[in-house]
Amino acid sequence: MKHALRLGAGAVVLSAMTALTACGGADSAQSASGKGTATLDMAIASAVIGPKEEVATYSVAKEEGFLTEENLDVKTINTDGSVAAVQAVASGSADITPADASAILAAREKGVPVVAVGGLVQNWPWRIATRPGSDVKSAADLKGKKIGVISLASGSAPYARAFAEDAGLDPQRDVDLVPVGVGSQALSALEGGKVDALALYTQAYTTLELSGKKFTYLENGERFDGIRSLTYVVRTDTLRKKRDEIIRFLRASYKGLLFSAVNPEAAMRDGYTVFPAILSGKQADDRIKDDTAILEAWVRTAVPAEGEPESYTDWGAVSEAAWNRTAAYMKSSGTIAKAPDLKEMWDDSLLKDVNDFDAAAVISKAKSAAE
């Protein structure tokens, strides 16, 4: 793979990011009553045209009243991938975003003053898939092959490189990364022979499998255990100015995620209300079964791998060991050149207050929505 591809994965965009950091975010619009109603802007890594993280967190928080409980008015803007979402936060166009950890670490290495404040996806969501019957049977068989990634600025690009390296391949020379997007576009690239394999996240494959498509998955190595993906990130000065608002936003988001884990169908219907483009002009009842299954696939990446919702605790927590494994992965994939200073790029001091909510009440609300 050519050096230009590596730059496309983030370095060029992040160089521009550094210049943008002179701009700050807007202050909250506080009312005179009580805690005050605050306005926050959230960057979304891509347009919401299917069930994903914005449905399980933001849509549910909005429609089930969790944002209202926190006296928050949250607006969203769309961007093109996690790097662009972090760029929006860095420029002050947005206050917070759930971005891939690779984009956050790369931004910090470039000197961009952003800080991670809460984890979201905690179970590695990325998989390499081929067509059934493909001559690519193992990671080593990818030598000289083309791997389809969502974009060179998405988390799928560093994952594909790391996967190749894990098999003893040179990720810069032995494989070629080809942007193919997701959904039918990615499927066409694979079935048409434009690429030999895909590097997508779990629910993207679930969407295609529900339409009858079949894939053969290559096994991820142990190096991917414990690596973090989507993580909430803010500017350092936004954290100082809007600490309380960020706490309230995260609390509402994790309430939404808990609700989604208990009642994914109700969560999906909230998603239709907030992001009607998901319906693509169809009726909710015609889509709800498949979309709920897709949303469930995403939720499984964001909640503990074991246990029931009643046992979930420590929302947003990321251990030092997990960050170190994530940084090692990003370094080996070429996303960063050196290990980050965790004290500068990770601030978990908000999480005690973030987790101060009645989980039983959220669970009860989700269960009653099914009645």
- Cα dihedral across residues 195, 199, 201, 206: positive or negative: positive
- 32 against 292, higher pLDDT: 292
Q: Of 224, 256, 281, which residue is a domain's last? A: 224
Q: How many domains does the chain have?
A: 2
pLDDT at 129 over 90: yes
Mean pLDDT of 313-335: 91
Q: Same structural domain for residues 157 and 33?
A: no
Q: Same structural domain for residues 238 and 115?
A: yes
Q: Same structural domain for residues 282 and 359?
A: yes
CA atoms within 13 A on the CB side of 293: 11
Q: Which domain holds residue 95?
A: 3-123+228-369
Q: Of 166, 197, 224, which residue is a domain's last? A: 224
Q: Of 204, 224, 244, which residue is a domain's last? A: 224
Q: CATH number of the domain that 218 lies in?
A: 3.40.190.10
For 319, other C-beta atoms within 10 Å of its C-beta total: 13
State the pLDDT confidence band at 371, using cuts at 50, 70 and 90.
low
Q: Same structural domain for residues 172 and 248?
A: no
Rounded distance, CA 241 to CA 206, Å? Answer: 40
What's residue 11's pLDDT? 40
Q: pLDDT tens, 233-290? A: 999 999 999 999 999 999 999 999 999 999 999 999 999 999 999 999 999 999 999 9
Mean pLDDT of 314-329: 94
Rounded distance, CA 169 to CA 328, Å? Answer: 17
State the pLDDT confidence band at 14, using cuts at 50, 70 and 90.
very low
Q: Same structural domain for residues 89 and 144?
A: no
- 323 against 45, higher pLDDT: 323
- 166 against 248, higher pLDDT: 248
In the block, residue with structure tokens 């965009």 = 13
- β-strand 96-100 against 230-235: which pairing, if any? antiparallel
State the pLDDT confidence band at 98, using cuts at 50, 70 and 90.
very high
